[in-house]
Amino acid sequence: MSILAVLLLFGAGEIYVARVSGVINPVTSAYLVETINKAERTDAQCLIIELDTPGGLDESMREVIKEMLNAEIPIIVYVYPKGARAASAGAFITIAAHVAAMAPGTNVGAAHPVSAGGQQVDSVMRDKMTNDAAAYIVSVAKERGRNEKWAEDAVRKSISTAADEALKLKVIDIVAASEEELLERLDGFKVTLKDTVIALATKEHRVVRVSMSLRERFLLTITNPNIAYILLILGLYGLIFELQNPGAVFPGVVGGICLVFAFYAMHILPVNYAGVALIVLALIFFTMELYVTSQGLLGLGGAAALILGSLMLFKSDIPFLKVSVEVIMVVVGITVLFFLILLAFGIHAQFRKPVTGQEGMVGETGVAKTKIDREGGTIAVRGELWNARCDTEIGPDEKVKVIKVEGMVLIVERCGQ
């Protein structure tokens, strides 16, 4: 028996637990690969991957499975908690585990390949994708001694199976309601690791939870299509405000940072750049509406372009790779409302009484410094002395009101008239 087998048999090492909840993408694959490597470096007893995923990207999935198939420690995939699923890419990862476990009320399967780019795929290419995925999952199932027929049907027929049925079909090895029950069921469980049959020893071992780093959690958050979309909008807002108010600095800095993060996310996600162009065009239309008299046409065009661009932004038929309609409606509503408020302020400013120049003197009150009549006189307004005339005679120290400006002469009347 090898040294590794002896160590595992007598329970050396800690039990590592990783948690994946969400889409399988480059961030989650990097997290899982690094966790596997870390568990190997520290001679962990085994690694448990708690899984709840709707699927993900094929390339990221294969990176994880390649690491799992060549792992030097046993890897257990546990579809958990109740209500979780291991769909699409998650089904492949579950099949690739040394031990596959599920909680009651979970399901696995529905692994038919779908084009993430959303483009139309002809029948020949579709068959190639399906055959490649089917061959891959069958080879993985064979390697792990699982139900090859079910695995192929999960790809070709998109079947999905509940935990109890999956156990009967030998798709998985264990059904456990909790992590404690799983560890109890794993104790003494025999697995094949690099052509050596070993028995796991999972009782009375310290469980080490390996969480995503702050960086990984942040990158995983911004690669959510909804977050990436919001970052793109905020970035464009920031740049527009900076261009409208040169030297403001803050909008430009925040906008630039948001755009960098948005571009990182769009590098991973299936972006339709026609959608990006429509969103940019929409914001240009909204800005022009503030300066060009268009009877609202530019605003309507901007709203239409923003809605269409948002719907087209990610070219995918997969729900978790698209922006939700609710988020689009909220963003469009806030954008339209914001520019309507700016437009209302602009219209209000056009009808507001002037406060500077000679026109701004109309309506102001002052005090007569001399007698004022048709021939003229002097008044004090805003701390300044002005020549003034009045159709009626006004005595010194009486309050007067400016009703008109003629050149450098103010036409006034007695206050209260």
Q: What is the pLDDT of residues 233-257, one digit of tens each?
A: 999 888 888 877 887 888 889 999 9
pLDDT given for residue 4 in this prediction: 44
Please give the Cα distance from 163 to 210 (Å, whole number). 26
pLDDT given for residue 12 in this prediction: 54
Strand partners, 216: none
- Which tokens sit at 334? 């806030």
Catalytic residue among 2, 66, 82, 128: 128
Answer yes or no: do 228 and 207 share one domain.
Answer: no
Answer yes or no: do 111 and 158 share one domain.
Answer: yes
The answer to whether residue 168 is domain-embedded is: yes
The answer to whether residue 185 is domain-embedded is: yes
Give 341's contacts (C-beta < 8 A, 6+ positions apart): none
Answer yes or no: do 203 and 103 share one domain.
Answer: yes
pLDDT given for residue 153 in this prediction: 95
Report the domain count for the chain: 3
pLDDT given for residue 177 in this prediction: 95
pLDDT given for residue 69 in this prediction: 95
Averaged pLDDT for residues 156-178 = 95
Answer yes or no: do 193 and 233 share one domain.
Answer: no
Q: Which amino acid is located at 341 in the chain?
A: I
Answer yes or no: do 15 and 77 share one domain.
Answer: yes
Strand partners, 193: 196
The answer to whether residue 115 is domain-embedded is: yes
Answer yes or no: do 170 and 116 share one domain.
Answer: yes
Q: Is the pLDDT of residue 315 over 90?
A: no
Mapping DSSP to helix (H, G, I), strand (E, B) and coil, where does residue 291 land?
coil
- Which tokens sit at 202? 């999972």
The answer to whether residue 218 is domain-embedded is: no
Q: What is the pLDDT of residues 353-387, one digit of tens each?
A: 555 556 667 778 888 888 888 888 888 888 788 88
Q: In the annotation, is 128 catalytic?
A: yes
Q: Is the pLDDT of residue 226 over 70?
A: yes
Read off the CATH number of the domain in which 157 is found. 3.90.226.10
Q: pTM score, two decimals?
A: 0.73
Please state the φ and ψ torsions of residue 84, each to the nearest 5 degrees.
-80, 170
pLDDT, greater one: 266 or 116: 266
The answer to whether residue 318 is domain-embedded is: yes
Answer yes or no: do 49 and 115 share one domain.
Answer: yes
Pick the last residue of a domain from 351, 382, 399.
351
**String of DSSP letters for 10-55:** TT-S-EEEEEEES-B-HHHHHHHHHHHHHHHHTT-SEEEEEEEBS-
Range of the domain at 385: 359-414
Answer yes or no: do 56 and 182 share one domain.
Answer: yes
- Say what percent of the chain tops pLDDT 90: 45
Pick the last residue of a domain from 167, 186, 212.
212
pLDDT given for residue 9 in this prediction: 44
Give 206's contacts (C-beta < 8 A, 6+ positions apart): 14, 15
Q: What is the pLDDT of residues 74-108, one digit of tens each?
A: 999 999 999 999 999 999 999 999 999 999 999 99
- Which tokens sit at 355? 């406060």
Q: In the annotation, is 190 catalytic?
A: no
Answer yes or no: do 277 and 319 share one domain.
Answer: yes
Averaged pLDDT for residues 168-194 = 93
Q: What Rg do the C-alpha atoms of the chain give, in angstroms?
A: 36
**Count of other CB atoms within 10 angstroms of residue 107:** 20
The pLDDT mean for the chain works out to 86
Pick the last residue of a domain from 179, 212, 245.
212
pLDDT given for residue 10 in this prediction: 40
Answer yes or no: do 166 and 315 share one domain.
Answer: no
Answer yes or no: do 157 and 54 share one domain.
Answer: yes
Q: What is the pLDDT of residues 157-167, one digit of tens each?
A: 999 999 999 99
Answer yes or no: do 172 and 230 share one domain.
Answer: no
pLDDT given for residue 358 in this prediction: 61
Helix, strand, coil content of the chain in percent (nearest 5) = 50, 20, 30
Catalytic residue among 29, 60, 88, 160: 88
Please give the Cα distance from 20 to 32 (Å, whole number). 8
